[in-house]
Amino acid sequence: MNVADDGTPPMLGWDAITATADRIADEVRADSVPDVLVGVLRGGVIPAVLLAHALAVRTVRTVEVLHTTADGVDAVKSAAPQVANPASLGDLTGADVLIVDDVAGSGDTLARTVELVRDAGAARTRTATFVCNVGNWRRPQAPGQALTYIGTVVDGWVIFPWERA
C-alpha cells in the first residue's frame, strides 16, 4: 500500500478487510476458537464483529482504551493509553479471550487491553490486529512476538472504510 501523490494515506477497501478477517479467523480457528471476543473501542469493534461472525462466537464485549488524542493522520498520542469503564469487560474468569483492534501502532493500546482482560479473569488471552504500523512500533518485542495474529504490516498510516478520509 502506497501513499497517494497528494500525500493521502492508502485506504483499505471492504474486500481487503473481509479477506483479512477470513485469514485471521482461519489462523484463530487452527489454534482454537475463543470463548469471548473483545473489541477495542472504537476502531476494533467492526473487526471484532467480523471475526465473531466468521468464528461463530456470540459473546463480544468492548472496552475503551484510547492512545491517540484525536482522529486523523499521525494523531498525537497521550503518554499512556487511557482506559474508560474497564468494568464493561464484565467477568472473564476462566475464559479464552481474543482481543481485536483495527490497527496496532506503538503496541501500547493492545498491551494495556491485555492487562485489563487478564485482570478480569481471562485464562487465556490472544490479540488480533488487522494492520500493524511498524513505523510507530515501540514495544520491546517485535510485532510478531507481541501480537498473536496480524492481518498485514505497513510502514505508515492507513484509512479504514469505516473512517473518514
* CATH assignment at residue 126: 3.40.50.2020
N-term to C-term CA, the chain: 15
Contact (CB, 8 A) for 90 and 113: no
- Domain membership of residue 31 (yes or no) is yes
| DSSP code at position 11 | B
d(CA 16, CA 59): 25
- Domain membership of residue 165 (yes or no) is no
Contact (CB, 8 A) for 64 and 85: yes
- Domain membership of residue 117 (yes or no) is yes
d(CA 38, CA 45): 8
Please give the residue range of the domain that contains residue 91.
14-67+78-154
**Number of domains composing the chain:** 1
Q: Each residue's pLDDT tens digit in the chain (165 positions)?
A: 544 455 567 788 999 999 999 999 999 999 999 999 999 988 899 999 999 999 999 999 999 876 555 555 555 555 565 667 778 899 999 999 999 999 998 888 899 999 999 999 999 999 999 999 898 888 888 898 999 999 999 888 888 898 865
Chain mean position to CA 140 = 18
- Domain membership of residue 22 (yes or no) is yes
- Domain membership of residue 9 (yes or no) is no
- Domain membership of residue 127 (yes or no) is yes
